[in-house]
């Protein structure tokens, strides 16, 4: 079995905001603007030839971690990474808010219950019907 992670300690200057970042071997993005650079095929190997800017596009939380998803502007590659305690919490919240807003406004059908009917290409009006009970188990 081959290892898929190589710890590479490197300091770098952020391509987006210009911040000087001191790497610890696990650092893969700027703690100020959360942007990264597409340089790895597997974390730490520096084998990707793309070199594009990877922008943060989503934030998710787990029991003990906050996960940041980056998408490469050049090739579209996506990668999920753990955040670090040094990461700017306001920047994380801004990414989460932007992702939530994009998810809400990207749907083709929007329901407005207080107005009575959903609006969309296949809407027949009214609320969706509830499935009839079959009487089993009650």
**Non-local CB neighbours of 104 within 8 Å, separated by 6+ positions:** none
Q: Judge residue 91's burial from the number of C-beta atoms within 10 Å of its C-beta, 0-12 exposed, 13-18 middle, 19 or more buried.
A: buried
pLDDT bucket at 109, cuts 50 / 70 / 90: low
| Of 20-24, 65-69, 104-108, minimum mean pLDDT range | 104-108
Residues 42-67 have pLDDT tens digits of 888 888 889 899 999 999 998 889 99
* ∠ CA 39-5-40, rounded to 5°: 10
> CA separation (Å) from 98 to 15, 46, 55, 91?
21, 30, 12, 11
Task: Report pTM.
Answer: 0.69
């Amino acid at each position: 079995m081959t290892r898929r992670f190589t710890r590479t300690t490197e300091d770098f200057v952020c391509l987006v905001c210009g911040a000087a970042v001191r790497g610890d071997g696990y650092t893969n993005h700027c703690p100020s603007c959360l942007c990264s650079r597409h340089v790895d095929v597997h974390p730490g190997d520096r084998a990707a030839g793309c070199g594009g800017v990877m922008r943060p596009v989503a934030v998710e939380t787990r029991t003990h971690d906050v996960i940041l998803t980056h998408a490469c502007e050049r090739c579209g590659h996506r990668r999920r990474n753990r955040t670090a305690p040094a990461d700017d919490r306001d920047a994380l919240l801004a990414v989460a808010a932007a992702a939530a807003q994009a998810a809400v406004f990207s749907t083709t059908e929007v329901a407005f219950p207080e107005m009575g009917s959903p609006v969309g290409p296949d809407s027949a009006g009214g609320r969706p019907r509830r499935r009839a009970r079959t009487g089993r188990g009650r």
